[in-house]
Structure 1
Amino acid sequence: MELRQLEYFVAVTEEASFTRAAARLHVAQPGVSAQIRQLERELGQPLLDRSGRTVRLTEVGAAVLPYARAALAAVQGARLTVDELTGLLRGRVTIGTIDWSRALDLPGILAGFHRDHPNVEITVTQDDSASLAASLRAGAIDLAFLSLGGAEPEGLDTQVVVEHPLHAAVGLDHELAGRPAVALASLGGRDLISLPRGTGLRTVLDEACAAAGVRPRIAFEAGDPTVLAQLAALGLGVAILPESAAEPYADRLHTMPVVRPKLYGRIALAWRAEGPRNPAARALITRARDWLRNAPPAPVP
Structure 2
Amino acid sequence: MDIRNFAGFVAAAEFMNLTLAARRLNITQSALSRQIQALEAYLGVPLFEKVGRNVRLTSRGEALFAKVNDVLLADRSLRMLAGDLGRGESGMLKVGACSQLIERYFPGFLKSWRQRHPGIDVRIEDGGGAELAGRLRSGAVHLTISARPSAPIDPFETLFLGKLGFMALATDEFLEGPGAPIEIADVLQYPVLTQHKRHASREVFDAACRLVGAVPSIVLESYSPHTLFAMAAGGNGVAIVPSSARSFPEGLIRKPVTLRGELLEFDICAMWGNSEPLPAYGRRFIDELRAHIQTENEREQAKQPEEARKRLEAV
SS at 1:172's partner residue?
coil
What is the TM-score normalised by the length of structure 1? 0.59
Q: Report the counterpart of residue 196 of structure 1 in structure 2.
A: 196
SS at 2:158's partner residue?
strand
Report the Cα distance in structure 2 between the residues aligned to 1:109 and 1:85, rounded to whole angstroms. Answer: 17
Q: Report the counterpart of residue 223 of structure 2 in structure 1.
A: 223
Q: Report the counterpart of residue 270 of structure 2 in structure 1.
A: 269
Aligned pairs for 1:1-301 (under 5 A) are 84=83, 87-88=86-87, 89=89, 91-99=91-99, 100-104=102-106, 105-113=109-117, 115=118, 118=119, 121-174=121-174, 176-178=175-177, 180-188=180-188, 190-243=190-243, 245=245, 248-249=248-249, 251-260=251-260, 262-272=263-273, 274-276=274-276, 281-295=278-292, 296-299=294-297
Report the Cα distance in structure 2 between the residues aligned to 1:284 and 1:192, rounded to whole angstroms. Answer: 42
Aligned AA for 2:185?
A
Report the Cα distance in structure 1 between the residues aligned to 2:232 and 2:96, rounded to whole angstroms. Answer: 29
Q: Which runs of 5+ in 1 are unaligned?
A: 1-76
Deviation per residue, 1:186-243 (Å, 9 max, x gap): 3445311111111122121112223433212221122232332232122111111234
Deviation per residue, 1:43-99 (Å, 9 max, x gap): xxxxxxxxxxxxxxxxxxxxxxxxxxxxxxxxxx9xx86972873255543221223
Report the Cα distance in structure 1 between the residues aligned to 2:254 and 2:104, rounded to whole angstroms. Answer: 24
SS at 1:135's partner residue?
helix
Aligned CA RMSD, in angstroms, stands at 3.4
What is the TM-score normalised by the length of structure 2? 0.56
Report the Cα distance in structure 1 between the residues aligned to 2:256 and 2:85, rounded to whole angstroms. Answer: 55
Report the Cα distance in structure 2 between the residues aligned to 1:102 and 1:254, rounded to whole angstroms. Answer: 17
SS at 1:245's partner residue?
coil
Aligned AA for 1:191?
P
Matched positions, count: 214
* Cα gap change, 1:95 to 1:228, in 2 (>3 Å): same
Contact 2:170-2:254 at 8 Å conserved across structures: yes
Percent identity for Structure 1 against Structure 2:
23
User: After the TM superposition, which segments of 4 or more aligned residues of structure 1 sit over 6 Å from their partners?
Assistant: 80-83
